[in-house]
Structure 1
Amino acid sequence: MSRRVSSPPAGDRPPPASPRDPAWRRWLPSVLVAAAIAVLFGLSAIRTPSPAPDDLGYSAFLTDVDSHQVKSVTIESSGRATGALINGHDYTTVIPAQAGSALLERLERAGVTVTAAAPATSSPIWSTLLSIALIAGPFVLLFWWVRRLGRGATTQLGGAMGVGKSKAKVFDTERPNTTFGDVAGYAGPKAEITEVVDFLRAPERYRRAGAVAPRGVLMVGPPGTGKTLLARAVAGEADVPFLSVAGSSFVEMFVGVGAARVRDLFAEARKRAPAIVFLDEIDALGARRGGSAMVSNDEREQTLNQLLSEMDGFDPAVGIVVLAATNRPEVLDPALLRPGRFDRQVTIPLPTLAERAKILAVHCRDKHLDPDADLQVVARGTPGFSGADLANLANEAAICAVRDDRTVIRAADFDAARDRILLGRREGSNVLLPGEKYAVAVHESGHALVAALSERADPVAKVTILPAGQTLGTTEQLPLVERHLYGEDYLTDTLAVRLGGRAAELVVLGQGSTGAANDLAQATDLATKMVREFGLSAALGPIGYPLGGSVFLGGGSELTSRPFAEATQAAIDNDVSRLLRVAEKQAVDLLESHRDALDRLVAMLLEQETVDGSQVYALAGVPVPVDGPGAAVAETVAPRRGGRAVPPRDRTRGSGMPARSGAGE
């Protein structure tokens, strides 16, 4: 049931939401449709003709003239005549060309008002414009469509023609707001980076001593420790141009594109020298070249070769410094790491206790903290946390406060946030069957009591049977100090603690359960490392066969070729089994000799569900470990008494019964 909690995955921030269209764009189509309908109705109203005049034949017209029924007549040169009758009606007729002057005399005798007019040759302006629009409209739409297609093709062509351009972000006048003040701790790495910036600002100081700036500085370390943040701080502090580019932006499917982008990047840097070039995740660009043609990659190798030649090609006096960051230094090509290219390798490790307190203070600047929220205590309970993890912790604590409708963050919020990050959401113990609840209480009591009775084991901080995430119960231990070396006695007691849950099941229940599956896996892994890597086996002696894998990412695999014989593997298996049996016997002996304390701790867990570490030590009859003379128990054993202290992620055995294989199944 022991559970080694791994680091939570770095929270991928969601891609930024595309900006919303302005409000006027949403109602613009409706307005255009309404305007078009209004124009159509207006044109139809304008074009509606007035009542048509009566058409008269020429003979009828002459009859009306003789009978004095015609009031006026307007004669056009085309022969068309219009006018008004005495009764007010309009008329129209056609006068033949042979009528001549006789018709005019006849009209004059009848008293008809005669007017001559030229034929109408012009039409209203709106009619002309409409005709032009109807004729030219289709051609305009066709021209717009062709132009749009051409613009898309031009964009694609421009992308293809500019495929060799570097995608670096250049910070010339507008620099990031991040400064070294935003990077808490890491005095050593900041000093080395600051020295590079100082050289670019005042190179004459170094020239007088005959020193030249390093060509490259490689920052290596676990994910989330602030490598990119340091580079952004350099951009904020430096008074020189800063070119930032990711290593993946050089990787393309076309051979030669990556090399062209590398050339363009350094050409831009030379134009702006002195300048700083930052290559983030350089392992995507500078991975080790394949020694066989079967596994070679022409594009990636050409890109790497171009980078090597560029870093050799510029004069150090020009003032171009390359900063790079990676969490996989073991995959980098050796030619990239030699002096003259990356002269310095700055390791950025996980922060120490003092650095974690400073990092928490930076991330809590804009937050309101309750007086009981001591960041030093929170930092003590978070060994193994990176800077990104601490930022996530502060944010989760603020979210916990918001859930309770508060703006002030309390210490309990930080405790709940650690539980949430390391173990998952807490559940009530009522999710377990009565038999399962009792089995979990026995299991966790075994872990806690063996840890309290083992001299070299880390102190117990808290025991709980409240399920969380994939665990049905948890025994949390917090080290008094941050260890860098582990003795054989410490590792042996650690094995006993990890098998303490199974030992309690054998002592109390008379049988084991599937709840110890995770404990057995972790104990076997530790015992295998003791025998195979640490040389702590009397049978095999001082030998070491490390599994390999990434330095900062883990991932050692048994699938790699074994550098030893089958007989050696059998000896390793036998010694691993011996270590585990000895550790289990040690745990069983401790629990049998303290059976009364075990039964009382089980009853206390069933009643309270969560028991503090000091109560465990009181039941065991041993003093609570303290860090130095007069140290406060509340600050060395558990960050928060009665709260939800969370185990460190790499040195603490939080017990956890897998939810799918809990006790009682």
Structure 2
Amino acid sequence: MDAPDSNDQRKPGFFGRHQWIRWVALSVLLIAAGVYLFSIALPGSSAENLSYSKFITAVEAGKVSEVSISTDGAAAGKYVSGTLFTTAIPVIDEPLLETLKAQKVDVTAVPAATSSIWSTLAGWAFTLLPFVLLGWLWWRMSRAQGDAQGLFGFARSKGKLFESTGPRTTFADVAGYEGVKAEVTEIVDFLRTPDRFRRLGAKIPRGALMVGPPGTGKTLLARAVAGEAGVPFFSVDGSSFVEMFVGVGASRVRDLFKEARSRAPAIVFIDEIDSIGQRRSGTTSFVSNDEREQTLNQLLAEMDGFDAASGVVVLAATNRPDLLDAALLRPGRFDRRISVPLPMVSERRAILLVHCLGKPIETGVDFDVIARGTPGFSGADLANLANEAAIEAVRNSRDSITQADFDAARDRLVLGRRDNSTVLLPEEKEAIAVHESGHALVAALCPRADPVSKITILPAGESLGATHQLPEVERHLYGQDYLADDLAVRLGGRAAEIVAFGQGSSGASNDLLGATALATRMVREFGLSPRLGPVSYSRADNGSGSVFDRPYSDETQATVDSEVARLLREAEARAIQLITDHRRVLDLLSSLLVERETVDGSVVYDLIAAESSTVTGAGDQRRRA
């Protein structure tokens, strides 16, 4: 499991993770309370407020001992008795004031408006509020863009550090791949005992590139190397280096390697390195990406700049090694290329056992059969298979996972979720049954084709039926006879429609697409065309980015098209002949599919065997007659 991020280790409270809101609210309340108490404690807050007329009367009566008058007319004084008072002196002409006094008019003066402490605070708040908001927005942007530990951490590395003191992943957690483990064990030995290599003058590779299809466990294998060696493990995605601002990616590369050196010995793992390590555009390209190229140049410089004796090893993973720049693969950078292929039968069994740990498995479940029935599955696919089998057991209210659950889960992943609620017309259902029966019958009659495992006419998305074939062995080399049988099987559905109904239908569109692609590769890449001979015309990507990258002439393209059409016509004619010779089996199988909707592959072979015995028996009777 991944180590928890330190930023997520926050205690829940009010406002959850946003603890700073609580502290800001408390600070505002404290400041408001202090201002209020200060305003109460101001001198003069308990003084008597007099009108101007009462003030004059008090002066004439000799009750006032002292008074102070400001320029704006505000006055404050003290009675003889010691009591304080405040008043305001009107700013008017003396004759008018004397006239008012003579007429005994009560005159009240109002002092000039003065700003209170509350209005002053409000003014300062409205002045500073825009700057506070701008600062907060910048802080949030810097965190979102750079995952920074502060305001100016935009260019910090986004690599996650997994310390050796936490939960470790070891080779025991990686099932299968014994050859790959043996190859990376040298890296583990170097990180554990570097002196043993230095004594003989040996240098460990600075970098190792793991190449393989998606889901084969390249990241898990890299973490197992770090776990076995007991060193810090820096994990980062290649896409996290590239941003819209030029120079940010290069700065993040520098920061990542700087931190790795400070914790050496350590492992730096870059996943999906093809996102930053693609071939540079060159001078002839119309489009370039300065940020990506600067990031790649900085990565090259960093891998060149550190000494192998420093104890920093770079591991990288990709499923597109053909896109990588040649400078990245040269000796001194990624010296080694470790292939992590799809697991074989024995490895699939071991991986299944790992993913089934902790799950209640019914006794009698044959993992050898399950492993043989999942060719081409990666480790991630097998983990998904085990999970789908557990879901299937829950759906059927079982307490343990049975063989049937694994079979149903495999069918769901390979054939798709089949839904019998889709309403089909009777003639459509019959046509689909004939189509799938044609695939199954041709596959069963072709000697080099993979055996038929299951046939169904239950719809799944756009697919209205499916025929599943199960290879008997793991193939790595395909002969011309196998490819020819494969073409015939792909066109078997269309051939059955032609035999049964006298015409094809739109249901063969995907079959034609796959058959055409296979025939094109046979002609262009495999050299299986007598007219073209042993010449390869594959579309090799030269990195120019040009759409006019066809490495042959129009005349050659016409020959390729003619040969592809010939192969497809021959395959279709062969399929039609096989189905015509076994028309009775086709009718029986299609009738069973209409009735049952799903038929096991053994039924096809039983029907063919029954027909053969019937024909043999009839021939013996004729010979005896």
Q: Residue 223 in 1 paired to residue 202 in 2?
A: no
Counterpart Cα distance in 1 of 2:62 and 2:526: 132
Q: Match of 2:159, as an amino acid? A: A
Q: Please show how residues 414-453 of structure 1 align to structure 2 within 5 Å.
A: 414-428=406-420, 431-453=423-445
Structure 1 window deviating more from structure 2 (532-541 vs 598-607): it is 598-607
1:579 counterpart letter in structure 2: L
Q: Is the 8 A contact 1:453 1:622 kept in 2?
A: no
The reply on whether 1:152 has 2:136 as its aligned counterpart is yes
1:587 aligns with 2:572: no
Does residue 504 (structure 1) correspond to residue 496 (structure 2)? The answer is yes
Equivalent residue number for residue 592 of structure 2: 604
CA distance in 2, matches of 1:135, 1:120: 30
Give the alignment of 1:644-663 within 5 angstroms.
Answer: none
Residue 101 (structure 2) aligns with: none
Structure (1 or 2) with the larger CA radius of gyration: 1
Give 1:400 deviation, angstroms: 2.1
The aligned amino acid for 2:561 is D
SS in structure 1 of the partner of residue 331 of structure 2: coil
More divergent stretch after superposition (239-248 vs 330-339): 239-248
Per the alignment, do residues 558 and 463 of structure 1 end up closer, same or farther by CA in structure 2, a change over 3 Å counting? Answer: farther
Checking the alignment, whether the CA contact within 8 Å between 1:274 and 1:318 is kept in structure 2 is yes
Aligned match of 1:614:
602
Q: 1:120 Cα shift? A: 6.0
Distance 2:62 2:246 in 1: 93
State the secondary structure of the residue aligned to 1:497. helix
**Which of 508, 524, 539 pairs up with 1:532?**
524
Tell me which amino acid in the other structure corresponds to 1:575. E
SS, match of residue 357 in structure 2: coil
Q: 1:278 aligns to what SS in structure 2?
A: strand
Distance (whole Å) between structure 1 residues aligned to residue 575 and residue 62 of structure 2: 138
What letter matches 1:324 in structure 2?
Answer: A
Secondary structure of 2:517's match? helix
- CA root-mean-square deviation: 3.7
SS at match of 1:431: coil
Q: Secondary structure at the match of 1:408?
A: coil
Task: Tell whether the 8 Å contact from 2:164 to 2:230 is kept in structure 1 after alignment.
Answer: no
The 3 A distance-change label for structure 1 pair 258 and 608 is closer
Equivalent positions of 1:564-579 (< 5 A) are 564-579=552-567
The offset of 1:398, in angstroms, is 1.9
How far did 1:422 drift? 2.9
Corresponding position of 1:640: none
* 2:357 is the alignment partner of 1:357: no
What SS class does the counterpart of residue 518 from structure 2 fall into? helix
TM superposition shift of 1:458: 0.8
- Aligned-pair CA distance for 1:240: 2.1
Choose which of 433, 450, 454 in structure 2 pairs with 1:458: 450
- Conserved? CA contact 1:429–1:465, under 8 Å: no
Q: Deviations over 1:390-442 (max 9, x none)?
A: 11222222222232344422222222222332333211176211101111111
Question: For residue 327 of structure 2, what is the amino acid of its counterpart?
Answer: A
The share of aligned pairs that are identical, in percent, is 61
Query: How much has 1:24 moved relative to structure 2?
Result: 5.0
Unpaired runs of at least 5, structure 2: 1-7, 30-35, 37-47, 51-56, 64-79, 86-114, 143-147, 613-625
- 1:409–1:19: structure 2 CA closer, same or farther, 3 Å change rule? farther
Alpha-carbon distance, 1:95 to partner: 11
Q: Tell me: CA distance 1:160–1:504, structure 2 relative to 1, closer, same or farther (3 Å).
A: same
Aligned equivalents of 2:318 and 2:220: distance in 1?
13
What's the CA shift string for 1:530-563, capped at 9, x where partnerless?
A: 111111111111111123469xxxxxx9965222
The yes-or-no answer on 1:493 pairing with 2:485 is: yes
Q: Secondary structure at the match of 1:494?
A: helix
> After superposition, where does 1:29-108 map in structure 2 within 5 Å?
none
Q: Tell me what 1:165 maps to.
A: 156
Among 162, 180, 187, the residue aligned to 2:171: 180
What is the aligned partner in structure 2 of residue 331 from structure 1?
Answer: 323
1:163-202 CA distance string (max 9 Å, x none) = 3332222233544543222211111222222321220110
Alpha carbons 2:208, 2:335 under 8 Å: kept: yes
**Structure 1 CA distance for aligned equivalents of residues 61 and 570 of structure 2:** 139
Higher relative CO (CA 8 A, sep ≥ 6), structure 1 or 2?
Answer: 1
- Between 1:189-198 and 1:144-153, the stretch displaced more is 144-153
Output the CA distance in 2 between the equivalents of 1:148 and 1:398. 54
Residues 153 and 469 from structure 1, CA distance in 2 versus in 1: closer, same or farther, beyond 3 angstroms? closer
Task: Work out whether 1:284 is the aligned partner of 2:275.
Answer: yes
Opposite residue 589 of structure 2, the aligned amino acid is: L
For residue 496 of structure 1, report the CA deviation from its aligned partner.
1.1
1:444–1:501: 8 Å Cα contact kept in structure 2?
yes
- In 1, Cα distance between equivalents of 2:61 and 2:465: 121
Q: Would the alpha carbon gap of residues 373 and 144 (structure 1) be closer, same or farther in structure 2, given more than 3 Å must change?
A: farther
1:259 is aligned to 2:234: no
Alignment of 1:246-325 (within 5 A): 246-292=237-283, 294-325=286-317
Match of 2:537 in 1: 545
Q: Aligned AA for 1:311? A: M
Unaligned regions of 5+ residues in structure 1, if any?
1-17, 37-42, 44-77, 81-93, 101-116, 123-130, 551-556, 625-665
Give secondary structure in 2 for the equivalent of 1:578. Answer: helix
Give the distance between the partners of 2:62 and 2:513, measured in 1 at CA: 124
Give the count of matched residue pairs. Answer: 522
TM (norm. structure 2) is 0.75
**3-state DSSP of counterpart to 1:300:** helix
Q: Is the 8 A contact 2:539 2:550 kept in 1?
A: no
Structure 1 residue 134 displacement after superposition: 5.2
- 1:425-476 alpha-carbon deviations (Å, 9 max, x no partner): 2111762111011111111111111111111111111222222232211111
2:226 to 235, 241, 245: 235
Matches for 1:12-27 after TM superposition, within 5 Å = none
Q: 1:429 to 1:160 in 2, by over 3 A?
A: closer
Distance 1:582 1:186 in 2: 42
CA distance 1:245–1:24, shift in 2 (3 Å)? closer
Residues 1:205 and 2:193 are matched in the alignment: no
Contact 2:188–2:226 under 8 Å retained in 1: no
- 2:376 — aligned with what? 384
SS at 1:475 equivalent: strand
d(CA) in 1 for partners of 2:566 and 2:368?
42
Corresponding letter in the other structure for 1:591: I
Q: Is the 2:208–2:336 Cα contact (8 Å) retained in structure 1?
A: yes
Q: 1:341 Cα deviation (Å)?
A: 0.8
- Distance in 2, Cα, partners of 1:181 & 1:549: 39
User: 1:176–1:235: 8 Å Cα contact kept in structure 2?
Assistant: no
Write out per-residue CA displacement over residues 225-257 of structure 1, whole angstroms, 9 at most, x where no aligned residue.
111111222333332222222222221233332
Do the aligned partners of residues 600 and 140 (structure 1) sit closer, same or farther apart at CA in structure 2, a change above 3 Å counting? same
Change (3 A) 1:96 1:225: closer
Bigger drift between 511-520 and 131-140 goes to: 131-140
Give the Å deviation of 1:596: 1.6
Tell me the residue number matched to 1:413.
Answer: 405
Q: Distance in 2 between matches of 1:416 and 1:613?
A: 15
Amino acid at match of 1:266: F
Distance in 1 between the 2:539 and 2:600 partners?
Answer: 38
Deviations 1:65-99 (A, max 9, x none): xxxxxxxxxxxxx9x9xxxxxxxxxxxxx999979
Report SS of the residue matched to 2:551. Answer: coil
Which amino acid is 2:470 matched to? L
* Counterpart-to-counterpart distance in 1, 2:527 and 2:353: 42
